[in-house]
């Protein structure tokens, strides 16, 4: 079995960047709301507050995920990233509820928007900050296979599109004079970010349930195995799962029973090295079996005794 270093090590700097962006956008959007009185901008500022809480929690979970394996967690702490993703989803849903509550109140008592140009300018600047940071986090998340950073990036991009919708509403109110457009846009924003929250929670749940690797990565593993397959070498019981950035691959390798231990071990070492080359941060577990032994083909179930009759 082979492993690599904890993939979450050093990713905290990206979480700190997200925290700084959240503080900056909260300040800017709150100023824009204060200037205009727009409930849409208020909803935008509230979601930036959620971004700050989410970024702090992401930093904490990345710190946990970076911890090395120990006696109680021999497979590492990588699944901590899924808690960050799920927490972001829940916070997004709470923000949507807050936005909807404020919008309904403003629908009942519409108010005009003051100083729209200045409010739009301030909010646009905040959106630019979020967009730039989201792109950095998304690239880092994909490069380091960090679901926590990817979730934070998607959350910030949701904030960007939320801001775009709010700004459209403000401009529409300024042009038409219909004050109810502002809370209507805010309600539409709330519906949109509910969908984002649900997707984040679902992704977190799937990771905690030991979902298999993506189809592309599974095919890469099979390609490696096929290069070695032949009359003397066969494979079965291939299983994969992921825990944050960490990937786990296990497979049974069947070879002739008269092979020496040295020869069989050399093949396993080569297979494991090739799998690690195509699957980053992979922990590879291989199990050697005799090709001629019928028992080798009965040992493919997840629970080894599951094929036997239970009392």
The pTM of this model reads: 0.63
C-beta separation of 189 from 48 below 8 A: no
Q: What is the pLDDT of residue 157?
A: 81
Domain borders along the chain are: 12-208, 215-297
* Tokens linked to 259: 């092979």
Cα–Cα distance list, 70 to 76, 77, 109, 242 (Å): 7, 9, 58, 18
Q: What is the pLDDT of residue 172?
A: 74
Q: What is the pLDDT of residue 281?
A: 79
For helices 39-65 and 147-176, the axis angle rounded to 10 degrees is: 170
Provide φ and ψ at 251, rounded to 5°: -155, 145
180-209: b (≥16 Cβ within 10 Å) or e: ebbbbbbbbbbeebbebbebbbebbeebee
DSSP 58-87: HHHHHHHHTSPP-SS-TT-STTHHHHHHHH
Q: What is the pLDDT of residue 50?
A: 76
The span from the CA of 9 to the CA of 63, in Å, is: 8
Q: What is the pLDDT of residue 309?
A: 46
> What is 12-208's CATH superfamily?
Cation efflux protein transmembrane domain (1.20.1510.10)
Task: Establish whether domains 12-208 and 215-297 are of one fold.
Answer: no
The neighbour count for residue 306, using CB atoms within 10 Å, is 9
Q: Which of 145, 115, 153, 110 is nearest to 17 (CA)?
A: 153
pLDDT in tens, 75-90: 777 778 788 778 878 8
> What is 215-297's CATH superfamily?
Cation efflux protein, cytoplasmic domain (3.30.70.1350)
Q: What is the pLDDT of residue 192?
A: 76
Q: What is the mean pLDDT of each run of 10 residues along the chain (311 residues)?
A: 51 87 86 74 73 83 81 78 81 78 74 66 84 90 80 80 73 74 76 80 80 90 93 92 83 94 94 92 90 81 55 43
Q: Which residue has tokens 């205009």?
A: 36
Q: Which residue has tokens 């519906």?
A: 191
Q: What is the pLDDT of residue 177?
A: 72
């Amino acid at each position: 079995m082979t492993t690599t270093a904890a993939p979450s090590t050093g990713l905290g700097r990206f979480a700190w960047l997200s925290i700084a962006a959240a503080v900056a956008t909260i300040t800017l959007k709150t100023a824009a709301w204060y200037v205009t009185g727009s409930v849409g901008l208020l909803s935008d500022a509230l979601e930036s507050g959620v971004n700050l809480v989410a970024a702090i929690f992401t930093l904490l979970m990345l710190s946990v995920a970076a911890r090395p394996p120990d006696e109680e967690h021999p497979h590492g702490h990588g699944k901590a990233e899924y808690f960050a993703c799920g927490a972001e989803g829940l916070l997004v849903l709470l923000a949507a509820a807050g936005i909807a509550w404020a919008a309904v109140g403003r629908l009942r008592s519409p108010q005009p928007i003051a100083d729209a140009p200045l409010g739009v300018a301030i909010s646009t600047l905040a959106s630019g900050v979020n967009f730039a940071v989201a792109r950095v986090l998304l690239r880092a998340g994909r490069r380091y296979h960090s679901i926590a950073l990817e979730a934070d990036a998607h959350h910030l991009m949701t904030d960007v599109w939320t801001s775009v919708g709010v700004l459209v509403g403000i401009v529409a109110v300024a042009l038409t004079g219909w004050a109810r457009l502002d809370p209507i846009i805010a309600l539409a924003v709330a519906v949109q970010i509910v969908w984002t929250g649900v997707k984040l929670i679902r992704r977190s749940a799937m990771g905690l349930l030991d979902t298999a690797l993506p189809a592309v990565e599974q095919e890469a593993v099979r390609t490696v195995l096929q290069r070695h397959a032949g009359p003397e070498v066969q494979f079965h019981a291939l299983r994969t799962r992921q825990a944050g950035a960490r990937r786990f691959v296990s497979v049974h390798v069947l070879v002739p029973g008269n092979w020496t231990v040295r020869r069989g071990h050399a093949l396993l070492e080569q297979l494991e090295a090739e799998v690690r080359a195509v699957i980053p941060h992979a922990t590879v577990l291989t199990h050697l079996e005799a090709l001629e032994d019928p028992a080798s083909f009965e040992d493919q179930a997840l629970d080894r005794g599951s094929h036997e009759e239970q009392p």
